[in-house]
């Protein structure tokens, strides 16, 4: 299972890429593997206010459904429109073309308590 360096990771298997006050968020390779084929991602509206810990997107997989949990508070700055027609990008490239939302965050320090890649790697080893 791939874990990408330089990202922050949640215990719900989301990743966050922090650039200034913009946080790009998606689900991890482990998560897409667990969910198997993703057939639909319902994304939030750009401009929506979101709170850290709240469900902001719905991920429908063949066998199950999952939420994307926001890793920070702020405003939705962009969503990955490509996923509307190609939800399989989340399976194929979870850290790249399968990104889900960009959040303009109020305080990037909110993400400090999430795991780094090494800690997340250990975390999924224990889960698996």
Exactly one of 2, 11, 36, 118 binds another protein (CB under 8 A); which one? 36
Exactly one of 40, 96, 107, 116 binds another protein (CB under 8 A); which one? 40
Per-position DSSP letters for the chain, written without gaps between them:
----TT-EE-TTSEEEEEETTEEEEEE-HHHHHHH-SEEEEEPPPTT-EE-TTSEEEEEEESS-EEEEEPSS-EEEEEE-THHHH-TTHHHH-TTTTT--EEEEES-GGGGTTSB-HHHHHHHHHHH-
Count of residues touching another protein (by CB under 8 A): 12
- What string marks each residue from 53 to 82 as x (binds another protein by CB under 8 A) or -? -----x-x-xx-x-----------------
Exactly one of 4, 48, 73, 88 binds another protein (CB under 8 A); which one? 88
Task: Check binding of 48 to another protein (CB under 8 A).
Answer: no
CA 113 to each of CA 11, 41, 83: distance values in angstroms, whole numbers, following the listed order: 11, 27, 29
**41 or 72: CB nearest another protein:** 41
Phi and psi (nearest 5°) for 9? -130, 140
Task: Check binding of 110 to another protein (CB under 8 A).
Answer: no
Q: How far is the CB of 89 from another protein (least distance, A)?
A: 13
Q: Which residues bind another protein (CB under 8 A)?
A: 36-37, 39-40, 42, 58, 60, 62-63, 65, 88, 91
């Amino acid at each position: 299972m791939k874990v990408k360096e330089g990202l922050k990771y949640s215990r719900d298997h989301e990743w966050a890429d922090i650039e200034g006050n913009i946080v790009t968020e998606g689900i991890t390779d482990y998560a897409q593997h667990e969910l198997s084929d993703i057939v639909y991602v319902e994304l939030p509206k750009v401009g929506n206010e979101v709170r850290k810990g709240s469900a902001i997107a719905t991920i429908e997989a063949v066998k199950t459904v999952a939420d994307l949990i926001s890793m920070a508070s702020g405003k939705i700055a962009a969503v990955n429109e490509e996923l509307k027609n190609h939800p399989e990008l989340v399976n194929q490239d979870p850290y790249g073309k399968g990104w889900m939302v960009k959040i303009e965050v109020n305080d990037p320090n909110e993400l400090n308590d999430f795991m780094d890649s090494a800690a997340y790697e250990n975390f999924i080893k224990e889960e698996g």
